[in-house]
Amino acid sequence: MSWRVQALFWSLGVLVFGLLLWAIGDVMLPFVAGMAIAYFLDPVADKLEDWGLPRVWAVIIIFVGFILFWAAAIAMLIPFLDEQFTILAKGAPDFVAQIISFVDARTDGAVSAFLSGEGSASEGPAATLIKSFEQGLSGLIDGAVSGGIALFNIISLLLITPIVSFYLLLDWDRMVATIDSWLPRDHRQVIAGLAGEIDARMAGFVRGTVIVCTVLSIFYASSLMLLGLQFGFFVGIIAGSLSFVPFVGFIVGFLLSGVLALVQYGPDVLHIGLVVGVFLIGQVVEGNFLTPRFVGRNVELHPVWVMFALLAFGALFGFVGILLAIPLAAVSGVLVRFAVKHYLDSRLYTGDDLAARQLAVPKSETAAETTAETTAEIDA
């Protein structure tokens, strides 16, 4: 089979897979989430198997331990979360009033006039901005509902995902062996090598990013709470959780905490500076220690490429696309590097004359010429 026929076959396969994913993206959510969980827990199951446990018992132990861990964590956090939600529920009206008062003082009462119906959207830029925000929020809610973010999807995600992940984890090694048996025999070694590289890149990135997000969430939440910032716990958790997208967690947390600090502390520059300093310190620690240490340069997923993948696949396939963005980015990166390597070794890059000369010159002569050129450069 010629390479053109093979290229056409694999291109059609990728196209069909993309169209299928786009058509049934909402239905695929619990299955993609279950596959992601099974992928991350498979090394643990393999380790338990190495210790002599049957696969089924290894999977059962993993899931029971997983459930007990989260049950214990939730039980310990319930009193604290209940207190935080109570403060949030009681303080939200006063906080909104403070924000309105704060903005009113700088927009000649545009917010109060708009809320009371005394102003119109055409009375100045502030009122126009508020009206635009209202329309944008309404459109966002309508789009979320029409896009399938509904109660049924949430229930299916919570109920179906554990079942899917259990069975996939149980049969993971068998599925990998079956897929390996389907690979073209002539290209099996190359495909297996690429798959191993993709697995290393993806696992290193995602597992490292989970550690980074966890550390940042704890740091931001605890620091903001110690500074006495209202709703600082929730802001810290949000900022840390969004840190899997480069700079997004920092920007969101910085803006939210900045607004909260301005409203709560007013002209107190010291407290506002301390809140801002928390996120500046977090960004410095993340960029200079956490990300290099836990993600590492060997992952070779550039932050710009990660942001583009998240936005592009999220726009195409919704939340399923966000879940698949990192794996697809890793696959694309490995395939692009593989293609570039072969391009640099091909006659398309070197040209027919250079390729012919390299074939005509014996390796010993080529090595001798290289050594002589290197010696001449050193002497010069």
Residue type, 121: A
Average pLDDT, the chain: 75
Query: What pLDDT does 145 receive?
Result: 47
Q: Report yes or no: 279 and 229 within 8 Å, Cβ to Cβ.
A: no
Q: Report yes or no: 240 and 186 within 8 Å, Cβ to Cβ.
A: no
Position with higher pLDDT, 292 vs 96: 292
Task: Write the CA distances from 184 to 127, 128, 218, 338, integer angstroms.
Answer: 64, 62, 48, 18
Query: What pLDDT does 27 receive?
Result: 74
Q: Calculate mean pLDDT across residues 333-350.
A: 84
Query: What pLDDT does 60 receive?
Result: 93
Q: Say how far apart CA 188 and CA 177 lie, in whole Å.
A: 12
Question: What sign for the dihedral angle of Cα 223, 227, 228, 231?
Answer: negative
pLDDT tens digits for range 234-269: 889 989 988 877 778 888 889 888 888 877 776 678
Q: Say how far apart CA 259 and CA 238 lie, in whole Å.
A: 15
Asked whether the predicted pLDDT for residue 131 surpasses 60, the reply is no
DSSP, collapsed to helix, strand or coil, labels residue 89 as helix
DSSP, collapsed to helix, strand or coil, labels residue 54 as coil
Q: Calculate mean pLDDT across residues 29-58.
A: 88
pLDDT tens digits for range 85-110: 676 666 666 666 766 676 666 666 65
Asked whether the predicted pLDDT for residue 141 surpasses 60, the reply is no
Half-sphere CA count of 10, side-chain side, radius 13 A: 10
The predicted model scores a pTM of 0.63
Q: Calculate mean pLDDT across residues 339-357.
A: 74
Q: Report yes or no: 37 and 161 within 8 Å, Cβ to Cβ.
A: yes
Query: What pLDDT does 219 receive?
Result: 94
**What is the pLDDT confidence band of residue 298, given thresholds at 50, 70 and 90?**
low
Q: Calculate mean pLDDT across residues 37-64.
A: 90
pLDDT tens digits for range 203-223: 777 778 888 889 999 999 999
